[in-house]
Amino acid sequence: MARMKDQCVVVTGGASGIGEATARAIVEEGGAVVIADLQEERGHALAGELGERALFHHTDVTRESDIIAAIALAQDRYGPLGGMVNNAGIVGAVGSIMDTDVAAFDHTMAILSRAVFLGIKHAARAMRAQGKGSIVSLASTAGVVGGQGPHVYTMAKHGVVGLTRSAACELSRLGIRVNAVAPGGTVTPMTDALGDNNPASTAQFIAQNSPLGIACMPEDIARGILFLLSDETRYMTGHTLVIDAGLTTGAVPPPFFSQQADLLLHAGLRGSDNAK
């Protein structure tokens, strides 16, 4: 399948984890990608591996001029901008809200929230001439419910979901679609600490906490991003695609299966009693 044939896409944070898997998938599906990341070594190595349809551009997403330059490079080398993936991220400020420092708050918001605003702003400016384009931003399960991440991360990711809806309202008339993907815990360098910096242990930890009992890999999320970038979703905009094994629907991980089954059974019995 070549769903991205001749499409030019910028992926922020494309040197690692979900961004890397997305960059690989774009090239595999016939597109071209600019990997816009801080990590020079990883970014250059990945672009070298992917060949002539991939370039690395040193980008700090907190700098508006860097985002503008990454998009300009993509257009210059590969033609009109077809897609933008606002993916760069960090965990950022952690701990009690009572102890969270304002500088840490500002830094976290600059990467997780302000940079998504800048990515949508400049991608839309680039796409409006051709009246077509697809923008996908990374939210999180922490962007749709509480208790899935630190406070500032949760606030920023809820902001991504909100801006996705708001920008979709304005940009639909220009033919530009704006969507988000909300992953649950995924095995990437960002979640390394969950498994003491051992990806196999991280995968085990994530699988144990997944209602499907399996670990989410970066490719699972990249497939969702590709779906939203491609014309398969030409009628979807303003949508947040949650990819979390059902966690935010109320599904529970394996250790709680029997507890939930009991609860559902009792709810069912009560329902049938009431119906008599």
Ligand X SMILES: NC(=O)c1ccc[n+]([C@@H]2O[C@H](COP(=O)([O-])OP(=O)(O)OC[C@H]3O[C@@H](n4cnc5c(N)ncnc54)[C@H](O)[C@@H]3O)[C@@H](O)[C@H]2O)c1
The residues binding ligand X (CB under 6 A) are 12-13, 15-19, 37-39, 59-62, 87-90, 111, 138, 140, 183, 185-186, 188-191
Q: Taking the complex as a whole, how short is the minimal distance between the CB of residue 109 and ligand X, in angstroms? A: 12
Taking the least distance from each CB to ligand X, the nearer of 111 and 260 is 111
Q: Taking the complex as a whole, how short is the minimal distance between the CB of residue 101 and ligand X, in angstroms? A: 18
Taking the least distance from each CB to ligand X, the nearer of 115 and 127 is 115
- For the annotated catalytic residues, the residue numbers are 153
Taking the least distance from each CB to ligand X, the nearer of 45 and 129 is 45
- The C-alpha angle 203, 50, 237, rounded to 5 degrees, equals 70
DSSP secondary structure letters along 23-34: HHHHHHTT-EEE
Taking the least distance from each CB to ligand X, the nearer of 146 and 271 is 146
* Of the candidates 260, 262, 253, the residue with the CA atom closest to the CA atom of residue 205: 253
**Pure H helices in the chain:** 17-28, 40-50, 64-78, 102-109, 115-127, 151-171, 199-208, 218-229, 257-275
Instruction: Say how far apart CA 179 and CA 163 lie, in whole Å.
Output: 10
Are β-strands 32-37 and 176-183 bridged in parallel, bridged antiparallel, or unpaired?
Answer: unpaired
Taking the least distance from each CB to ligand X, the nearer of 80 and 189 is 189
- Per the DSSP assignment, residues forming a β-bridge with 83 are 9, 134
Q: How many beta carbons lie within 10 A of that of residue 207, not counting itself?
A: 18
Q: Taking the complex as a whole, how short is the minimal distance between the CB of residue 32 and ligand X, in angstroms? A: 19
Q: Taking the complex as a whole, how short is the minimal distance between the CB of residue 258 and ligand X, in angstroms? A: 27
Token reading at 180:
């988000």
* Of the candidates 172, 180, 175, the residue with the CA atom closest to the CA atom of residue 156: 180
Q: Taking the complex as a whole, how short is the minimal distance between the CB of residue 174 and ligand X, in angstroms? A: 25
Instruction: Say how far apart CA 172 and CA 169 lie, in whole Å.
Output: 6
Instruction: Say how far apart CA 42 and CA 33 lie, in whole Å.
Output: 15
Report the sign of the C-alpha dihedral through residues 46, 52, 58, 59, in that order: negative
